[in-house]
Chains A and B, each alone.
Chain A
Amino acid sequence: MIMPSNTPNEALLIPNEGVLDTISSFNEDGANYSVLDLYDDDEENDGSSLIEQREILTTRELEKAKAFTSLVMADPENFDRYGFGKKSYFISQEEYDKWWTEYSRYSERRKKKWENYLCKNKIDLHNDNPLLYPARNEELRKFVRKGIPAEWRGNAWWHFAGGQHKLDANVGVYDNLKSDCRKGAVSGKDMEAIERDLYRTFPDNIHFHKESFQIGEPAMIQSLRQVLMTFSVYNTAIGYCQSMNFLVGLLLLFMDEEKTFWMLVIITSKYLPGVYESDLEGANVDQGVLVLCIKEYLPEIWSHIESSYMNGNGSNEQVSEPKSDQQYLNRLPTLTLCTASWFMSCFVGVVPIETTLRIWDCLFYEESHFLFKVALGILKLSESEFLESKSQKLFRQYSSYPFGSGADTDSTFKKLKNKIKTQEEADMEILQVIQNFPKRLLNPNEIFEKVLMKKKMALNSITQEKIDQDRGYVAMERSRQRGSSRPKEKKAE
C-alpha cells in the first residue's frame, strides 16, 4: 500500500481495499477533520450503528479522544507515501522535507533506468508493476543495490525471495491453516502475545492506527492478526516472537496476506534460521558471527571491545591476557544487546523507513549476509562519532598513562581516573551512539554510497558462504561450551 507522493496512481499495488478507502478519503478530503465532524458526518450517513457509538462516546470518552493522538486530524503532509509519520524524535519535518525533495528525484531517475533496463531485457512492465526480472546477474544486483522502485517492491521482493516457488509447492496450505485457526488451533499463549502487540505495531502509521471514533478494527490490524496467528500454527517451534509483528506489518504494506505469510516463512527459515525460536539461540549465534566480523573488519571497534573484556566489568583491575574467540562467543559483548534487535527486526524501526526498504531490497536479492554488511556499515559510520567522543579520548589518555611511578603521577592519575572513571563509562557512551546513530540514517545513500557500494572496503568482501560457515562454527562452539558447563544464565523456568 503506497500513497503516491505527487499524483494519485491507480496502478499502485492495492493489497487491502478497506485500507485504500481510508487513504483516498484521507487524501481527497484533505486535512482539518475533527473527531466530532467525522462523528456528525457518520451520523447522517448511517444512523443505526451510531446509536451504539453515541452511547460509547460519553463526555469522558470524548475528552480521552481529544487527548489521544488522532492521526486523521493531522495534516496529510505529515505522512510519507506508506502512511508513516515523517518526523521522529531524531528527524524534524524540515529535515525530512529537504531530504525528500532530493531523494524523490533520485527515485524517479532510478525508476526510468529500471524501465529502460527491463525493456532492453524484453520484460513486460506489466502496467507499472513488473512480475518478472532478468536472471541474476551483476548488472541486476547493481540495480537492486540502488533501490527498487517503491511501487514495484511487493512483486520484486516476492520474485527475488522465491515466494512463488514456495507457494506453488504449498497450494492451499495457507487457507487450510486459516481454517485451523478458526477452529481454535492457535495456542492461548501465542494468541495473547499477538493480540497484545497488534496495536503496538507501527502506532504512528495511518493504516495501523485506530482512530478513537472508529468502531471496527483497521483492516491492516486484522491482516496482521491473521498472518501472525496462521504462522504460529504453521511453525509451533516459533509460534509468535516479538519483532515478527514488524516484519509482517511492513510486508503487508506491499503485498497480500498469503504472500506476506510465505515471505515470513522464508525469512524465518532461510534468512534467519533459529533466530525466533523459543531460546533465541539463532539470534545469539548471529551475534557471535557479527562479533567475529567486527574483529576481522572493524579493528578500531574491536580493540575497544577487547579492552572492555580485559579491564573486567566496571573495575580497573590488572590487565589480563586477551581472551580467545570461544570466550567472546560464549559471553557476548554488551554491544550485542543492542545489535541483536537489528537482525531480529531486519532493521525495521532501527533505521528510517526508506533506508529499511533499501536494505530489504538487497536482503531478498542477496540473502542474510547483507544484514551483516549493513550492521558493520552502521558501526563503521558511527565509529568516528564514538571514537571521538569525549570520554573515549580521555579513556585513551588514561590507558596509555604510566602506572604507579611516583606521587605526582599518582595524583594526576587520580584526577584522570576521576574524570573518566571506568571503561564502563566509555562503554555506555558507545552503546548510546550505536543505538541512536542509525535512527538518523534518513538518507539510504548515506550508508549505501559511503559503505555498502564501495568495492574497496574490506567488509564488502563478505559472502553468504562465509556467513553460513561462521554460523556453523559459532553454533558449534556455543553448544560445545554449553554442554561442558551449564551457564547460570539459563533461566530455571
Chain B
Amino acid sequence: MNTSVTSIKLVLLGEAAVGKSSIVLRFVSNDFAENKEPTIGAAFLTQRVTINEHTVKFEIWDTAGQERFASLAPMYYRNAQAALVVYDVTKPQSFIKARHWVKELHEQASKDIIIALVGNKIDVLQDGGERKVAKEEGEKLAEEKGLLFFETSAKTGENVNNVFLGIGEKIPLKKAEEQNNANEGESNNQRVDLNAANNGTSANSACSC
C-alpha cells in the first residue's frame, strides 16, 4: 500500500437544516443524532480514508446554513478543492438554494474545485414522506454544471461514504515523486476503507465530467 497522504480541503454548503452536519457526523463518526443542533459559524473536522490504496485526509469545513452566515462562506471555500452542496429532497426551496451555491462556487471559488451535489434525507421517502425534488432534477443540474451527484441519507448512512469516495477519486493523486517520499510520521489509525464500506444501495452517482 502506498503510504503517502493527499489532503483534500472540503467545504459543505447548503440551506439550514438540510443535514450538512449530519452528513459529516455520519462520515467522520458513523453516527447520527436526531434534531442535531444548528451549527453556529462553522465546525472543522478531519477524516482519513483509504481510496484505491491511497490515503486521503479530508479537512472538512462544515458551515452554518442560515442566510446571514453566507457572507462568511468565501473564507471557507477560498482554498477548498472540493465542495458538497447539500439540499433536502423534501424541500424544494433548499434545491433552489443549492443552485445558488453552485453558481457562486463557479464564479468565486478555485477553477478546478470539485463539486458534489447531494440530495439528503432519502430515508424520509422510505418512511412515507413525500419527495419534492425529483432525482432527475438533481441529475439534470449536475449534468449541466459538471457536478458529481448523489442522493443520501445521513440517518441510515446510505450513500454517504460514496460521496466522499467520489470526491476522492476526482482529486488528482500525488505526483510519483512525492509518493516516493513516504510519510513515516503518519499514523494509520481511525482510517476508514471507503471501498470496503461502500454501503450505497439504490442511489448511485451520476457524473457528467
Binding site for B on A (CB under 8 A): 60, 64, 68-69, 193, 196-197, 199-203, 241-243, 245-246, 277-280, 313-314, 332, 334, 337-338, 340-341, 344-345, 349, 390, 394, 414-415, 418-419, 421, 425, 428, 431-432, 435, 488-493
Contacts and interface: CB of A to CB of B under 8 A. Distances in A.
B112 interface: no
A419 B46 contact: no
Contacts of A338: 41-42, 44
B172 interface: no
Interface stretch (B73-81, B159-167, B188-196, B197-205): B73-81
A493 B100 contact: yes
A202 to B, nearest CB: 8
B37 A337 contact: no
Interface in B27-57: 33-38, 40-44, 46
B207 interface: no
B41 to A, nearest CB: 4
Contacts, number: 106
Nearest to B31: A89
B83 interface: no
B125 interface: no
B16 A196 contact: yes
B37 A334 contact: no
Interface centre among A196, A246, A345 (most CB of B within 10 A): A196
A419 B40 contact: no
A277 B184 CA distance: 48
A490 B100 CA distance: 14
A69 B34 contact: yes
A450 B65 CA distance: 37
20 contacts: A60-B127, A69-B34, A193-B66, A200-B35, A203-B34, A203-B35, A203-B36, A242-B64, A278-B68, A280-B69, A334-B75, A337-B76, A338-B42, A340-B41, A341-B40, A349-B37, A390-B185, A418-B183, A489-B71, A492-B104
A337 B42 contact: yes
B127 A64 contact: yes
B72 interface: yes
A243 B40 CA distance: 6
Interface centre among B35, B61, B185 (most CB of A within 10 A): B35
B76 A196 contact: no
B37 A431 contact: no
B71 A491 contact: yes
A242 B38 contact: yes
Nearest to A492: B104
Q: What 5 A-B pairs come out closest when comparing CB atoms? A: A341-B41, A341-B40, A203-B35, A489-B74, A340-B41
Contact of A418 (B17, B76, B181): B181
Contacts of B7: 421, 425
B10 to A, nearest CB: 12
Contact of A493 (B41, B70, B79, B127): B70
Majority SS of interface residues in chain A? loop
Interface centre among B59, B68, B70, B79 (most CB of A within 10 A): B68
B208 interface: no
Contacts of B79: 313-314
Contacts of A200: 17, 35-38
Contact of A193 (B16, B108, B185): B16
A419 B187 CA distance: 12
Contact of B40 (A68, A242, A489): A242
Contact of B35 (A199, A332, A340, A490): A199
B27 to A, nearest CB: 16
A331 to B, nearest CB: 9
Given A64-B127, A334-B75, A337-B41, A428 B68 contact: no
B78 to A, nearest CB: 8
A432 B44 contact: yes
Contact of B71 (A345, A414, A490): A490
Given A196-B17, A491-B73, A419 B66 contact: no
Nearest to B155: A67
Contacts of B37: 200-203, 246, 349
A199 B67 CA distance: 19
Nearest to A202: B37
A314 B7 CA distance: 11
Contacts of A196: 16-17
A314 B110 CA distance: 14
B41 A414 contact: no
Nearest to A394: B185
A325 to B, nearest CB: 19
A344 B183 CA distance: 40
A493 to B, nearest CB: 7
A242 B69 contact: yes
A385 B178 CA distance: 30
A95 to B, nearest CB: 20
A279 B68 contact: yes
A340 B66 CA distance: 15
A490 B108 CA distance: 11
Contacts of B33: 203
A491 B70 contact: yes
B46 A432 contact: yes
Contacts of B16: 193, 196-197, 242
Contacts of B64: 242
Contacts of B75: 332, 334, 337, 489
B86 to A, nearest CB: 15
Given A60-B127, A415-B181, A418-B183, A245 B34 contact: no
A435 B62 CA distance: 13
A451 B100 CA distance: 46
Contacts of A243: 38, 40
